[in-house]
C-alpha cells in the first residue's frame, strides 16, 4: 500500500481525488470545529454523512503534495464555520458531498474517510475527545487523546521534513 493510490469520490462520481501513499494519519477528531463543520455539511440537501456513529469525523490526512483533484475541481465549493476560520471544508457542489478539510496554515489535507472506496487504513487514534458528545462508550482499540496528542504533532513534523527533503 505504500505507493498505491486511493480514490475519493463524491456521491455522483463527478468529483474525484487521488491520494498517493500512506496517509500521515488515519484518525477520528471530536473537536468543536469538526463537529460544527460536520453538522453544517450534513444539513445540506441530499448530503452524504461525514461523521461516525459516535459523532467523530474520520479523516485520512495526507501531505498536500500527495492529495490532488483528478476530476471536477470546478465543482468544488468552500464552506467555513466562520468568516475568519482557519479551516475550510470543500464540498462537491454537484451532489453536496463533503470531500476534504484544509487547514490554511498547514501542509496537509484531511480527506473524509467515508469518501474513499476499497481498503482504507484503519483508525490509528482519536483526538480531542474532551469535546466528544456521544453517550456511547469510547472505543479502546486505539489511543485516544483529550487534545490533539503528541503522536499527531510528531507525524505532522516528520511529514513536513519529508516534503522538504523529497
Nearest to 45 by CA among 1, 11, 71, 70: 11
Q: How many CB atoms lie within 10 A of CB 154?
A: 10
Q: Which residues of the chain have pLDDT under 70?
A: 1-3
Q: What is the pLDDT of residue 1?
A: 47
Please say whether the dihedral angle defined by the alpha carbons of residues 135, 115, 156 and 83, taken in this order, is positive or negative: negative
Q: How many CB atoms lie within 10 A of CB 88?
A: 17
Domains of the chain, earliest start first: 6-164 (3.90.1590.10)
Nearest-angstrom CA–CA distance, 43 and 149: 30
- Rounded to two decimals, the pTM is 0.94
Q: What is the pLDDT of residue 109?
A: 98
**DSSP type of residue 40:** H
Q: How many CB atoms lie within 10 A of CB 144?
A: 17
Rounded to a whole number of angstroms, the CA Rg of the chain reads 15
Q: What is the pLDDT of residue 166?
A: 77
Percentage, residues of the chain above pLDDT 70: 98
Q: What is the pLDDT of residue 4?
A: 79
Q: What is the pLDDT of residue 2?
A: 54
Residue 125 CB partners (closer than 8 Å, separation 6+)? 25, 27, 28, 142, 143, 144, 145, 149, 151, 152
Amino acid at each position: 500500500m505504500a505507493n498505491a493510490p486511493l480514490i475519493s469520490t463524491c456521491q455522483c462520481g463527478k468529483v474525484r481525488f487521488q491520494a498517493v501513499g500512506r496517509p500521515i494519519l488515519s484518525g477520528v477528531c471530536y473537536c468543536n470545529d469538526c463537529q460544527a463543520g460536520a453538522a453544517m455539511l450534513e444539513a445540506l440537501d441530499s448530503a452524504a454523512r461525514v461523521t461516525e456513529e459516535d459523532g467523530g469525523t474520520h479523516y485520512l490526512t495526507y501531505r498536500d503534495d500527495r492529495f490532488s483533484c483528478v476530476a471536477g475541481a470546478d465543482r468544488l465549493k468552500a464552506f467555513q464555520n466562520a468568516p475568519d476560520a482557519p479551516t475550510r471544508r470543500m464540498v462537491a457542489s454537484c451532489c453536496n458531498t463533503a470531500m476534504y478539510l484544509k487547514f490554511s496554515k498547514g501542509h496537509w489535507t484531511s480527506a473524509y474517510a467515508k469518501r474513499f472506496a476499497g481498503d482504507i487504513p484503519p483508525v490509528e487514534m482519536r483526538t480531542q475527545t474532551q469535546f466528544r458528545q456521544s453517550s456511547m462508550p469510547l472505543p479502546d482499540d486505539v489511543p485516544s487523546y483529550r487534545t490533539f496528542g503528541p503522536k499527531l504533532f510528531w507525524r505532522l513534523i516528520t511529514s513536513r521534513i519529508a516534503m522538504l527533503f523529497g
